[in-house]
Amino acid sequence: MDSLALETDAGHSLLARYRRTQNSGDLDQSINHFERALDLCPVDHPYRPAALFNLATAKFLSCQANGIYLDVDIPISLFQGALDSRPMGHPDRPTTQLHLAISLLSRFAKHGFQTDADTAEDKDLDEAIVLDREMLALHPVGHPDRFMPLNNLAAHLSSRFKHRGNEEDLDEAIVLHTEALALCPVGHTGRSISLNNLARQLSSRFKHRGNEEDLDQAIALHTEALALRPIGHVDRSMSLNNLAFLLSSRFEHRDNEEDLDEAIALHTEALDLHPVGHTDRFMPLNNFAVDLCSRFKHRGNEEDLDQAIALHTEVLALCPVGHTDRSTSLNNLALDLSSRFEHRGNEEDLDEAIALHKEALALRPFGHADRSMSLSNLAIDLSSRFEHRGNEEDLDEARENLRSANIVSGGPLSRLQTSFRWVRYAEQHRHDTQLEAYETSVSSRHRAMKDFPLALAVDAASYALRSGDVRRAVELLEQGRTIIWTQMTRLRMPVDGLQTRSDHAAALLKRFRYLSSLLDKPLTSLPEGTLKIDVEAEETRYRRLVKEWNSAVEEIRNIEGLSRFLLPPLFSDLQDAARDGPIIVLIGSKSSFYAIVIPHKQTPISIQLSISVEKLQILVDKLHRTDSPALKKALTELWDDVVCPVVENLDGIAPRGSRIWWCPTSVFNFLPLHAAGEYRKQGRFLSHLYISSYTPSLTALIKARRSHERSPSVPFVAIGQNRPAGATFTLDAVEPELELVRSLLPPPPTISFSKITSVDATKSRALCALRDNTWLHLACHGTQNIAEPFKSAFLMRDEPLSLLDITQTDLSRHQFAFLSACETAVGDRNTLDEVIHLAAGLQFAGVKSVIGTLWKVNDSTVERLVKAFYKHFCGDGTVNSKRAARALHRAVYSLGSDQDIPLNQRILFVHIGI
């Protein structure tokens, strides 16, 4: 015991001296003493946990001092051993937990953001959070030392949110920081830090969810924190910058000029705290210039623009040749000069902007993440100079740069953003590359699914229609819509079948996917000042990859049936969708509204509609009312403004009583086109003239028509859930409905019928039934999730069967689905042209013919319609999915005289597919 005491005391003494002097020799000797102390404490020795803890502490400090992060495994193991020996209630357990958590987070910080979510390093963060939770439990509400574990857990949850994006972690961090702030009342020394911590988390949540209440609260907290950091406070500059940044963000969302003015005032003070010569002057100088430029764009006060240019000129002077931020500074100054040229017409500003963009481009070699942006910025200024001077060389260089910008950018998102810049410029200047810009943008949208204009495809199609090119409009519309479904179901990537064709084809598929993965990753940015030989080597490597990828694509196109692989769809191919009847595509853009009638063999017809966005929106609202007179009036307006002009052009294309398909876009997606008519005496009705079906896209309809071998027996499953999870009542109509379906279907061997209901109708059983049966009738509650449409679901006994679950199931051989649930064919207004709803999900997953609902359905309506539908569908003892549309048409017509069924219930069922 004496030896143990001597070694331990010596270790602590040397460790204390190391903390004062940072002499590494003291730290090494301290570790030696603690190691000898541990050797004196065999397993079960009462002081072994303390010896483990002491050695772990010194070892961890050594890892930090020497930067040997890989060796942090050793102190982590020692801390863990100490913790295992200190059970719940041990007085030293909280301290041990804290140190273990710190060491785990140190290892995570070194490796966590460089690895996959399932790696050991990533699990360090989870384990640290578990320790934090245990520590917090040891410091319940009212404990004098609760603040530290609250703050630690909140900080670590915030780190995990940044790493994984799970917003539940962020929400919890905000709750914990709120409690921590409550423990720091006015006058508390730590209040400004707590205010800042909570404000940062609220700001993060605002960025992810866009809830402006979070932004307002964050601004209020930063305002209070700034008040607690008066002139002379070491953190005042940080508070000024934080508050100014959020005020600028709120200005961008609300256009409140007071916010922008206040942000500029704060930037002015921050800049005063960093006078000329200050080492940290760069950031406040740049921020001040950016906000001045924003105010100029908002108010047009050229003094703001002149001052922004002066500030950006000073920023550039602080970034000499070789500085890492020089290319960004060059770009910012060039953009300001371009703006001043647009307002004053001084061509010297334009010449200088072009020179600056060219220098920035030279500093962003092939592979640089911002090269695409520099190319497009330079192209726009060159085009402007061409318009003023008429120098054809400027125009040629501009076109080449715009095209190059869409080739060399690092990833799909930047390619898409670049192509949008091209579209905006071409629209603004009526540039002769406008159609080419649209084509490039629509093509790029296949490879990225965020931050793009919702109406891009219809805007592109509208422009083509105004140019008189109806076929091109259809091609662009088809290429630019339903991209989520296209990617998820690989409608444009028919390569999976290659694996079964031959060994060569399978090898070709593997090579193509490998090369695609390399090219689709952002290229490594080459820092400014990189040797020319290294730049050339990177360019050569990239060109080689592109050449190999192109070669693989050409080989795939030589395979029979794949000649259009990765090429945009041609109208001649798309027109085959109208094999069984014309397709009417409805296009509504900000500038014009059209209907395109696509027959199978004849020339397509373009019809301009006399309607506006505002009137369409009003019409959508009216059509969702249950009041019958108001509904009839709205359906009459729909006939007059949209449907009638189409019907008048169907003569000679579709005989009366035949089928037609509607393919609506944008707001048209929410209109019950099939129910339009003149709701008055002797009025005309679409349902009296044609049988209407819907399709989300032409490609989806072509895919649904592909024939598969049909088995002699039809496997038909009826799934019903009368008491889903969380429900407090039973749906009494479900069981009778399924029995009604059974009684109306042909007997075996024509139909092989099975039924899943009640406690058996779980999510997993329903998915199995979906996979094993190619015919389906589903009766249950359906929910449409507006915020997250892929969470729209059929409610089962244990948990929902979501749209996402359905899309991950192969239904390519499925024939028919009757969705007897509420809102199964209702889309999402935030992604109009993606047509994300349950019925569309089934069709895109492969089901040929689907019946869904537009809104809530009454039990009495379902019973009568189901009975009428199945009598017309298979009453003669045969089944064919192509008969579903006609059977639904006849069933609805037969209910027309039933006064007990209101109009909104008679028109809510729709048919999608063949």
Q: Which two tokens stand for residue 366?
A: 């092939």
Band of the pLDDT at 262, cuts 50, 70, 90? very high
* Cα–Cα dist 214/199, whole Å: 9
* Cα–Cα dist 607/618, whole Å: 22
* Cα–Cα dist 640/240, whole Å: 59
**pLDDT value at residue 908:** 87
Burial class (CB in 10 A: 0-12, 13-18, 19+), 715: middle
DSSP H helical segments within 639-788, as ranges? 644-647, 686-689, 698-705, 734-744, 763-772
**pLDDT value at residue 523:** 45
**pLDDT value at residue 7:** 93
**pLDDT value at residue 477:** 82
Specify the 3-state DSSP secondary structure of 312: helix
- Cα dihedral sign for 270, 275, 276, 279? negative
pLDDT above 90 (res 551)? no
pLDDT above 50 (res 141)? yes
Residue 532 identity (one-letter amino acid): K
**pLDDT value at residue 827:** 53
Band of the pLDDT at 524, cuts 50, 70, 90? very low
- Write down the mean pLDDT value for the chain: 82
Mean pLDDT, residues 351-356 taken together: 97
Q: Which two tokens stand for residue 75?
A: 């102190």
Q: Is-contact 757 797, C-beta < 8 A?
A: no
Q: Higher pLDDT residue, 331 or 666? A: 331
Q: Which two tokens stand for residue 445?
A: 């949208």
* Cα–Cα dist 724/731, whole Å: 9
Q: Is-contact 107 144, C-beta < 8 A?
A: no
DSSP codes of every residue in 618-650:
HHHHHHT---HHHHHHHHHHHIIIIIHHHHTT-
DSSP state of 527: P
Mean pLDDT, residues 822-846 taken together: 63
pLDDT tens-digit map of 559-573: 877 777 767 678 988
Band of the pLDDT at 690, cuts 50, 70, 90? very high
Q: Which two tokens stand for residue 592?
A: 């014009």
First vs last C-alpha separation in the chain: 88
Q: Which two tokens stand for residue 137?
A: 């439990």
Q: Which of 307, 216, 287, 285 is nearest to 253 (CA)?
A: 216
Among 267-276, 414-423, 874-883, where is mean pLDDT lowest? 414-423
Among 284-298, 551-565, 689-703, where is mean pLDDT lowest? 551-565
pLDDT tens-digit map of 486-510: 544 433 344 555 555 677 777 887 7
DSSP codes of every residue in 799-860:
S-EEHHHHHTS--TT--EEEEESTTTT---GGGGGG--SHHHHHHHHT-SEEEEESS---HH
pLDDT above 70 (res 116)? no
**pLDDT value at residue 126:** 80
* Cα–Cα dist 894/892, whole Å: 5
Burial class (CB in 10 A: 0-12, 13-18, 19+), 808: exposed
**pLDDT value at residue 860:** 82
**pLDDT value at residue 236:** 94
The C-alpha angle with vertex 504 and arms to 503 and 505, in degrees rounded to 5, equals 90
Q: Which of 817, 879, 823, 866 is nearest to 842 (CA)?
A: 817
Among 122-131, 688-697, 783-792, 808-817, where is mean pLDDT lowest? 783-792
**pLDDT value at residue 371:** 84
Q: What is the largest CA-CA distance in the chain?
A: 111
As a whole-number percent, the residues of the chain with pLDDT over 70 amount to 82
The C-alpha angle with vertex 653 and arms to 648 and 659, in degrees rounded to 5, equals 90
pLDDT above 50 (res 522)? no
Residues sharing a CB contact under 8 Å with residue 563, sequence separation 6 or more, in sequence order? 557
Q: Higher pLDDT residue, 830 or 770? A: 770
Specify the 3-state DSSP secondary structure of 588: strand
Residue with tokens 């290319």: 327
Mean pLDDT, residues 325-352 taken together: 94
Neighbours of 5 (CB within 10 A): 12
CA 229, 233, 235, 238: dihedral to nearest 10 degrees?
70
DSSP state of 774: S
Q: Is-contact 754 773, C-beta < 8 A?
A: yes
**pLDDT value at residue 605:** 95
Q: Which of 465, 489, 462, 461 is nearest to 475 (CA)?
A: 461
**pLDDT value at residue 757:** 92
**pLDDT value at residue 425:** 54
Q: Side by side, which strands form the sheet with 775-779?
A: 605-608, 593-598, 583-588, 659-664, 691-694, 909-913, 849-853, 816-820, 775-779, 714-720, 751-756
* Cα–Cα dist 589/481, whole Å: 14
Band of the pLDDT at 818, cuts 50, 70, 90? very high
Mean pLDDT, residues 252-276 taken together: 91
Band of the pLDDT at 841, cuts 50, 70, 90? confident
Among 30-34, 228-232, 454-458, 721-725, where is mean pLDDT lowest? 454-458
pLDDT above 50 (res 280)? yes
**pLDDT value at residue 849:** 94
**pLDDT value at residue 530:** 45
Band of the pLDDT at 697, cuts 50, 70, 90? confident
Specify the 3-state DSSP secondary structure of 719: strand
Band of the pLDDT at 660, cuts 50, 70, 90? very high
Name the most confidently modeled range: 139-148, 173-182, 391-400.
Answer: 173-182
* Cα–Cα dist 301/290, whole Å: 14
pLDDT tens-digit map of 399-415: 788 767 765 444 444 55
**pLDDT value at residue 49:** 93
Residues in the chain: 914
pLDDT tens-digit map of 190-230: 899 999 999 999 998 888 777 888 999 999 999 999 999 99
**pLDDT value at residue 320:** 92
Residues sharing a CB contact under 8 Å with residue 709, sequence separation 6 or more, in sequence order? none
**pLDDT value at residue 258:** 93
Band of the pLDDT at 784, cuts 50, 70, 90? confident
Q: Is the pTM of this model over 0.85?
A: no
DSSP codes of every residue in 874-910:
HTTS---GGGHHHHHHHHHHHTTT-TTS-HHHHT-EE
Band of the pLDDT at 706, cuts 50, 70, 90? confident
* Cα–Cα dist 819/847, whole Å: 12
- Cα dihedral sign for 129, 134, 138, 141? positive
* Cα–Cα dist 262/890, whole Å: 66
* Cα–Cα dist 313/903, whole Å: 68
